[in-house]
Amino acid sequence: MALPDTTHRVALHTSDKVNIQIAEATQRSIAYYRSHPAEIPARLKKLDREWDIERILETNAATLIIISSILGFTMSILFFVVPLLVGAFLLQHALQGWCPPLPVMRRIGFRTSTEIEIERKALEKITHRPDASLF
């Protein structure tokens, strides 16, 4: 079994419809800032703070593991099932680029670092050459 490369694995396991929605939202943002170049520096700072899907998944997984482990030690040993499942999901995501929460998070609009970087590069290009083609 060949494993997908890290850069594209999330997009490969996201529905075409959701990938298109995310790409269209990015293009709308670029078009807006092309018409409002004075706002680009603030947008670039916001992009610096945007969490990509990997960071969101890792944070949610770590939170679930910590809370359920505390509950496992203090309430019931059955709570230790949660870290086991979360660990399995993280392993699956690391290897395949998919895990059960991923489709929901993508529909919400969380982007990959590559998708964020596409917007960043396009905005940087606008600030350096306003009449330049985006791609």
Write out pLDDT tens, residues 4-36. 777 888 998 899 999 999 999 999 999 999 999
Which segments of the chain does DSSP mark as H helices, in order? 9-12, 16-35, 40-49, 53-74, 81-96, 102-108, 113-128
Would you call 20 helix, strand, or coil by DSSP?
helix
Query: How confident is the model over 44-79, as pLDDT tens digits?
Result: 999 999 999 999 999 999 999 999 999 999 999 999
Tell whether the torsion through CA atoms of 113, 115, 121 and 124 is positive or negative: negative
Q: What is the 3-state secondary structure (H, E, C) of 33-52?
A: HHHCHHHHHHHHHHHHHCCC
Of 90, 72, 89, nearest to 81 by C-alpha is 72
Q: Is 2 left (phi over 0), alpha (psi -120 to 50) or beta?
A: beta
Hey, where are the domains in the chain? Answer: 15-50+112-135, 52-110
Give the mean pLDDT of 88-106. Answer: 92
Q: Note if the pTM is more than 0.95.
A: no
